[in-house]
Chains A and B, each alone.
Chain A
Amino acid sequence: NAGVTQTPKFRVLKTGQSMTLLCAQDMNHEYMYWYRQDPGMGLRLIHYSVGEGTTAKGEVPDGYNVSRLKKQNFLLGLESAAPSQTSVYFCASSFQSNEQFFGPGTRLTVL
């Protein structure tokens, strides 16, 4: 099993550009999450999903949108990227409200 995978691993954007980060899991987990990690701040939850077709806001949702069209995939979108969105983005999944399994991360730089 690959576990949780993220695409791409690195990306550089210009201010105002849009992009989508893809997260995939092969563990048949119901719950999926998107976090951002910034120095000295730990991880902060952006959005999460409790099942196919459902999404909800986390702690820092502004500037991001998500979609969960298939159970195994969770997409994070930036419609108009800003320098403040420069960060490392982690996707995670869990079977229940319990241990979360993390992907390797996507390093995004917005110039």
Chain B
Amino acid sequence: AQSVTQLDSQVPVFEEAPVELRCNYSSSVSVYLFWYVQYPNQGLQLLLKYLSGSTLVKGINGFEAEFNKSQTSFHLRKPSVHISDTAEYFCAVLVLLDMRFGAGTRLTVKP
């Protein structure tokens, strides 16, 4: 089965700084890739998804991610973060109906 590794469990960053949250996956077949955000005591909200086509995907709240097939990565980036971006971020890989999530990266934005 496919699997996801989020390389950083916690990422502290200062407000207005750029950030990259790293995600690697493994799969023997083609996949769909997703980034979700979870604010405290809430469900998951979709940030962006890669299904096919352009490898650079733009999402909500100024986030973007790049699909790199050769490195099996799908890193999430934002050029300038805000305090309100503090949350947990999950990378996920989908094969047919089987969605596998990474363990999550807690992004903390400091003033």
Q: Contact: A100 with B103, CB < 8 Å?
A: no
How distant is the Cα of A31 from the Cα of B1 in the complex, in angstroms?
A: 20
Verify if A97 is at the interface (C-beta below 8 Å from B).
Answer: yes
Selected from A40, A41, A45, the residue in CB contact (under 8 A) with B99 is A45
A side interface size, CB within 8 A: 25
Give the chain A neighbours of B101 by CB distance below 8 A: 42-44
Whole-angstrom distance between the Cβ of B85 and the nearest chain A Cβ: 19
Band of interface residues on B? 20 to 34
* Central interface residue in A31, A56, A92, A99, by most chain B CB within 10 Å: A99
What are 18 A-B contacts defined by CB distance under 8 Å? A4-B43, A40-B9, A40-B104, A41-B103, A42-B101, A42-B102, A42-B103, A43-B44, A43-B101, A97-B96, A97-B97, A98-B49, A98-B94, A99-B34, A99-B49, A101-B46, A104-B43, A105-B42
How distant is the Cα of A103 from the Cα of B44 in the complex, in angstroms?
A: 8
A94 to chain B: closest residue by CB: B97
Verify if A50 is at the interface (C-beta below 8 Å from B).
Answer: yes
Q: Mark A44-58, 1 if CB is under 8 A from B, else 0.
A: 110010100000101
Verify if A33 is at the interface (C-beta below 8 Å from B).
Answer: yes
Which residues of A are interface residues toward B (Cβ below 8 A)? 4, 31, 33, 40-45, 48, 50, 56, 58-59, 90, 92, 97-105
Whole-angstrom distance between the Cβ of B43 and the nearest chain A Cβ: 4
Selected from B9, B42, B94, the residue in CB contact (under 8 A) with A104 is B42
Give the chain B neighbours of A103 by CB distance below 8 A: 43
Instruction: Report whether over half of chain B's contact residues are helix, strand or loop; otherwise say mixed.
Output: strand
- Sorted from nearest, which 8 A-B pairs have the closest CB atoms? A42-B101, A102-B43, A102-B44, A43-B101, A42-B103, A104-B43, A97-B97, A42-B102
A56 to chain B: closest residue by CB: B97
Whole-angstrom distance between the Cβ of A35 and the nearest chain B Cβ: 8
Q: Contact: A105 with B43, CB < 8 Å?
A: yes
Q: Contact: A99 with B97, CB < 8 Å?
A: no
Whole-angstrom distance between the Cβ of B42 and the nearest chain A Cβ: 6
